[in-house]
Amino acid sequence: MSLRRLLICTACLASLLAFSADLDRADASAPDRSGRCLSAVHDRQLRVRIYPARGWHVRCVSSIHVSGLSNVIGLTLSRSHLILVDAHRGDPLTTLAHELAHAFSLDRMSPGLRSRFTRRMGSRSFSTGTSWATTPAEIWAFNQARCAGYTTAARTRAVSCRVIRTFVRATS
């Protein structure tokens, strides 16, 4: 599956078997205007610390449905440059931080840099893996967000922030 077709979930707490799906297998409810999620969307500090993600749209929704997955509270839809954030479950701010880190890795990291990170994690593919928590794309997103001060409830292994910063600097 190409990276462009990936759809990455933030917190598949109950499902560790699959983390990606085709765009047409995902669906979201109507936009949700509740305050906590909208304030996360407009949080400038968050964009500065993680990634401005210009050209991406962020939608707060009241639920996210992905075929075959449960407990999805955030999604990065790479092909449509759309991020979905569940306004009611989890902390929308940390969810969005995680998804912005996915957007960063898609936009700013070259294939070579993603490969370097993948090898460093002892994996073969950046965006696929045997479980959510061991997939390099998820390890990247969890740790880039964590090192910026936003730790999600769904955790992967920790990578030192010094290493994360080295990779972030390599994109500029």
Which residues are near Zn ion by CB under 5 A? Answer: 8, 10, 138, 141
CB of 57 to Zn ion, least distance (A): 17
| CB closer to Zn ion, 10 vs 143 | 10
* CA angle (57, 4, 81) in 5-degree steps: 5
CB of 10 to Zn ion, least distance (A): 5
The answer to whether residues 132 and 19 touch, using CB atoms and an 8 Å cutoff, is yes
CB of 72 to Zn ion, least distance (A): 10
CB of 99 to Zn ion, least distance (A): 7
| CB closer to Zn ion, 13 vs 38 | 13
Distance CA 64, CA 86 (A): 7
| CB closer to Zn ion, 27 vs 33 | 27
| CB closer to Zn ion, 35 vs 100 | 100
DSSP string, 94-152: HHHHHHHHHHHHHHTS-HHHHHHHHHHTT-S-SS--SSGGG-HHHHHHHHHHHHTT---
